[in-house]
């Protein structure tokens, strides 16, 4: 039976012509008949829903939280142990499905790219997080979930963190969103590079006057002139907002940005729900990454870390959003998904108050603690309440799943590998019909680990022999502390086959190039100091 799948990497022979990675076809050859039956059930349920909903697919509200390890939200027992408070998220989890084995990429840009494109970021050059100006980003040639849904009748809005490039083609309003309100950069620049952060020694050496080096010669070494908050409408240039030429970015600006995005999300819910078209609304808040302890008048959690205190605020805000969905009367025709983009920012555990819970490690490494997160889905009448699913799912699967649920699957590109699998049956039918038992884990551009079923292969560092690879049983050893030779003895050959198939598929469908251009292009009111920063950056770039 498996021999029938040998052509899998080389032609679009599977569902709707979508090309998946090689491992999918190994599973399809064994489970294709069952999956076809599941698809019929899903199609019937979605058709019944559309009939009840005036012929329209559901709204989709997707909330992506930054840097939060598994166990930090949605589980009251963990709240109790950790001294944190997420009562509204806990209640939301009880109202739907908890995806207990959600995998992401190791850090923020890669995870967001995987969600938006349905592809591992190694395939489009965005596997690395950029801090300041880079002249790179999500390329026009990539097809996003917003574009797919927009082409099929959805209104599309993005609010909050973006972090997928500082060039015009990569901005969200140029990647399928009708409107976007977002910062170009991430919290290292927004929450760290402030006078308050410098005063608390969370960040040192950047603020003028905070350090003294009488022998410093390069005035461009410390980044200055960064662009902060932006707004953009499809087909128009972006504008920087809420910041003037010559201003110094402060904690007050960062706090105002948090509140702005929360307020805009509520306002957009109200506006979009009044339209006749379904909507896809993304809210990607910047909190709970918060480094300035002085912004809290009182400490209200037993934990007391700045991140945990900020998580309490986020929990309330998320509750306000769900209350608004309910008040507007759109709960039954709105799929809401809440999850984190990757594990904790472990380098700042002592400040933020987060810690290793069940899984070892955190953001930027490739341990389970970096790529296992909480994820919850609610859709009253369509997703069963208070349920758990242990099926493996990857953030890229949401691309394909949202497209299927939104009636837009036929718009997914068929000229490239789509890593995201359709997990609609898992969401709608509950635990059991998942279509994934593998995840490829990349550290930037290098394959670092492969998860298959309950086992995880940790590849040796370049230059080391293959025999030094480690294999873990993730149920027995979720902390990845004790590799088991007795598993590696039989599993190593199978893992070699998995990796070889994966690489052959990449050869048949080569990776795309990252988008490139002038930093801050496409902004109509670029500040003078930002123009100078770009000029300095471009002065040494290749044409």
Chain centroid offset of residue 138 CA: 14
Residue span(s) of the chain under CATH 3.40.720.10 come to 22-437+513-538
Six-digit token string for 66 = 């930054």
Residue-wise pLDDT for 26-50, tens only, equals 999 999 999 999 999 999 999 999 9
Q: Residue 543's pLDDT band (boundaries 50, 70, 90)?
A: low
pLDDT at 84: 92
Specify the higher pLDDT residue, 289 or 527: 527
- Long-range contacts, 124-127 (Cβ 8 Å, 24+): 124/511, 124/512, 124/513, 124/514, 125/511, 125/512, 125/513, 125/514, 126/164, 126/165, 126/514, 127/442, 127/443, 127/444, 127/445
Q: Give the three-class secondary structure for 201.
A: coil
Q: What is the pLDDT of residues 98-123, one digit of tens each?
A: 999 999 999 999 999 999 999 999 99
* C-alpha angle 193-198-200 in degrees, rounded to nearest 5: 130
Q: What is the DSSP string of 279-341?
A: EEEEEE--TT----GGG-SS--SSS--HHHHHHHHHHHHHHHHHHHHHHTT-GGGEEEEEEES
pLDDT at 7 over 80: no
542 — pLDDT class (breaks 50, 70, 90): confident
Distance CA 81, CA 490 (A): 39
Report which secondary-structure segment, H or E, holds 232.
strand 229-233
Percent of the chain whose pLDDT exceeds 70: 97
Higher pLDDT, residue 486 or 337: 337
pLDDT tens-place string over residues 76-95: 999 999 999 999 999 999 99
Could you give the angle at the alpha carbon of 213 between the alpha carbons of 208 and 219, nearest 5°?
60
Beta bridge partners of 136: 516
Task: Answer whether 311's CB lies under 8 Å from 84's CB.
Answer: yes
pLDDT digits (tens, 9 = 90+) for 441-463: 999 899 999 999 999 999 988 77
**pLDDT of 229 higher than 80:** yes
Kindly give the residue spans of alpha helices, DSSP state H, lying in 68-185.
76-82, 87-94, 108-117, 145-150
Strands 455-458 and 97-99, by their bridges, are unpaired
For residue 13, is pLDDT > 50? Answer: no
> Residue 531: pLDDT band by 50, 70, 90 thresholds?
very high
pLDDT score of 10? 46
CATH superfamily to which 22-437+513-538 belongs: Alkaline Phosphatase, subunit A (3.40.720.10)
How does pLDDT run across 125-157, given as a tens digit for each residue? 999 888 789 999 999 999 999 999 999 999 999
Coil vs helix vs strand at 452 = strand
pLDDT-derived band at 14 (thresholds 50, 70, 90) equals very low
Tell me the C-alpha distance between 332 and 335, whole Å: 8
Q: How far is CA 176 from CA 241, 517, 541, in A?
A: 21, 19, 29
Strand 515-516 to 179-183 pairing? unpaired
Nearest-Å Rg of the Cα atoms of the chain is 23
pLDDT > 80? residue 4: no
- Residue 16 has a pLDDT of 56
Q: Which residues contact 463 (CB under 8 A, 6 or more apart)?
A: none
For residue range 468-489, what is the model confidence (pLDDT) as tens digits? 889 999 999 999 999 998 998 8
At residue 1, the pLDDT reads 34
CA distances from 131 to 109, 193, 288, 299, 453 (A): 10, 11, 19, 30, 35
* pLDDT tens digits for range 252-274: 999 999 999 999 999 999 999 99
Q: Are 331 and 385 in contact (CB under 8 A)?
A: no
Q: Given a cut of 50, is residue 201 above it in pLDDT?
A: yes
Smallest Cα–Cα separation from 137: which of 112, 118, 155, 160? 112
């Amino acid at each position: 039976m498996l021999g029938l799948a040998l052509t899998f990497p080389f032609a679009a022979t599977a569902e709707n012509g979508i090309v998946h990675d090689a491992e999918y076809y190994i599973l399809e050859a064994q489970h294709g008949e069952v999956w076809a039956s599941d698809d019929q059930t899903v199609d019937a349920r979605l058709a019944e829903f559309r009939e009840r909903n005036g012929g329209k697919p559901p709204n989709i509200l997707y909330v992506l939280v930054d840097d939060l390890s598994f166990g930090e939200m949605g589980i009251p027992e963990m709240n109790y142990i950790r001294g944190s408070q997420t009562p509204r998220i806990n209640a939301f989890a009880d109202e739907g499905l908890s995806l207990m084995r959600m995998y992401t990429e190791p850090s923020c840009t890669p995870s967001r790219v995987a969600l938006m494109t349905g592809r591992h970021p190694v395939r489009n050059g965005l596997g690395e997080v950029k801090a300041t100006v880079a002249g790179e980003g999500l390329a026009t040639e990539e097809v996003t979930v917003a574009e797919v849904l927009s082409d099929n009748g959805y209104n599309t809005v993005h609010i909050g963190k973006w972090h997928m490039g500082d060039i015009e083609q990569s901005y969200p309003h140029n990647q399928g969103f009708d409107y976007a309100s977002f910062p170009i950069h991430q919290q290292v620049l927004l929450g760290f590079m402030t006078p308050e952060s410098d005063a608390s020694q969370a960040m040192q050496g950047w603020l003028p006057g905070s350090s003294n080096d009488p022998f410093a010669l390069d005035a461009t070494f410390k980044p200055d002139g960064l662009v902060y908050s932006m707004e953009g409408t499809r087909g128009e240039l972006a504008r920087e907002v809420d910041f003037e030429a010559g201003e110094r970015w402060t904690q007050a600006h960062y706090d105002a940005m948090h509140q702005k995005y929360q307020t805009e999300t509520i306002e957009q819910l109200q506006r979009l729900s009044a339209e006749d078209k379904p909507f896809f609304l993304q809210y990607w808040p910047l909190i709970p990454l918060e480094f300035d302890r002085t912004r809290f008048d009182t400490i209200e959690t037993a934990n007391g870390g700045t991140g945990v205190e900020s998580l309490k605020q986020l929990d309330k805000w998320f509750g306000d959003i769900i209350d608004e969905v309910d008040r507007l009367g759109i709960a039954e025709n709105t799929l809401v998904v809440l999850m984190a983009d990757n594990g904790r920012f472990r380098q700042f555990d002592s400040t933020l108050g987060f810690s290793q819970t069940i899984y070892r490690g955190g953001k930027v490494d490739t341990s389970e603690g970096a790529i296992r997160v909480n994820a919850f889905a609610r859709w009253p009448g369509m997703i069963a309440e208070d349920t758990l699913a242990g099926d493996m799912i990857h953030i890229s699967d949401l691309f394909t799943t949202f497209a299927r649920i939104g009636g837009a699957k036929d718009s997914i590109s068929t000229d490239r590998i789509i890593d995201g699998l359709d997990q609609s049956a898992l969401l709608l039918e509950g635990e059991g019909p998942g279509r994934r038992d593998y995840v490829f884990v990349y550290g930037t551009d290098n394959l670092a680990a492969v998860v298959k079923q309950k086992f995880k292969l940790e590849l040796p560092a370049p230059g080391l022999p293959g025999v030094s690879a480690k294999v873990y049983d993730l149920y027995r050893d979720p902390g990845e502390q004790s590799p088991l030779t007795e598993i590696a003895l039989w599993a190593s050959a199978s893992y070699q086959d998995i990796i070889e198939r994966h690489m052959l598929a990449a050869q048949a469908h080569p990776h795309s190039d990252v988008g490139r251009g002038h930093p801050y292009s496409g902004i109509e009111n670029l500040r003078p100091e930002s123009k100078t920063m770009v000029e300095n950056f471009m002065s040494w770039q290749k044409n």
